[in-house]
Amino acid sequence: MDLFSLAGKTALVTGGTRGIGLMIARGLLEAGAAKVVVSSRKAEACEKAAAELSAFGNVEAIPADVSTEAECLRLAAEFGDGPLHVLVNNAGATWGAPLAEFPASAWDKVVDLNLKAPFFLTRALLPNLRAAAVEGDPARVINIGSIDGIMTPGERYSYTTSKAGVHQLTRVLAKELGPQQITVNAVAPGPFESKMMAATLDAFGEVIADTVPLKRIGRPDDMAGVAVFLASRAGAYVNGAVIPVDGGLTTL
């Protein structure tokens, strides 16, 4: 069966050198993607991830700080003129501080990377996405939101707001780009092992796992699976969805 095959497809994953981005990049390669381009701010991290992922398929790494529009445009230019079947907007940052102490700089840092980058990079890569799009097998944009954009966590004001914005941006772009045979969907991860979650899981991992209805933290295959679904023929008719991958946390 080829329902979940990504044979012949090219993907770009921002923040693809660690955590959820690395899980997705590996999953796309294991599903048969012809090439996966990973990007992150640090060149050294890009080289390390590319070396690790090369065991699973054809990988290219392009360092870029997508928190600025200029870098989004440069990344798109370095990607080149070829078709892009799957764009995964995953790069993100978080910040936590009490309400009275929350700095203005934390709003700029988090919103620039979490919310503005998916918009500017998707726009910059539209020619590539259009070149890959065919009726019945559209090009795909997968935005990585968060259950924090659905629930109401404390003290991460810019993060939770930016992720709720990612979910709404997903719906708006899905409506606009759908007629061009480009789908736009969002994944809202719950607790997964990543650098962003490391300190929280070290301190409260057992408590969090016990709170999740499935009684565990997310695993790499859980994230890879939903990305492969959305990127493959299996997800060709899904557009404008925000899919929680959280073991049921958002049901509480």
* CATH number reported for the structural domain that contains residue 167 in this entry: 3.40.50.720
pLDDT for the residue numbered 198: 72
* Mean pLDDT for the chain overall: 96
Per-residue pLDDT reduced to its tens digit, 101-137: 999 999 999 999 999 999 999 999 999 999 999 999 9
Res. 234: pLDDT tops 80: yes
Instruction: Examine residue 242 and state whether it is found in any structural domain, yes or no.
Output: yes
Alpha helices in the chain (DSSP H): 19-30, 43-53, 69-79, 104-111, 117-124, 126-132, 157-177, 195-211, 220-231
The answer to whether residue 159 is catalytic is: yes
Phi-psi category of 217—alpha, beta or left, where left has phi over 0 and alpha has psi -120 to 50?
Answer: beta
Domain hosting 21: range is 10-246
Instruction: Examine residue 3 and state whether it is found in any structural domain, yes or no.
Output: no
* Count of structural domains within the chain: 1
7 alpha-carbon distance from chain centroid = 20
Instruction: Examine residue 61 and state whether it is found in any structural domain, yes or no.
Output: yes
* Residue of 79, 120, 157, 159 marked catalytic: 159
pLDDT for the residue numbered 177: 98
> Which tokens belong to 201?
């899981």
The edge-to-edge listing of strands for the beta sheet with 35-39 is: 59-61, 35-39, 10-14, 86-89, 139-144, 182-189, 242-245
CA angle 110, 111, 116 (to 5 degrees): 130
Q: Alpha-carbon distance 94 to 136, whole Å?
A: 37
Q: Alpha-carbon distance 243 to 189, whole Å?
A: 8
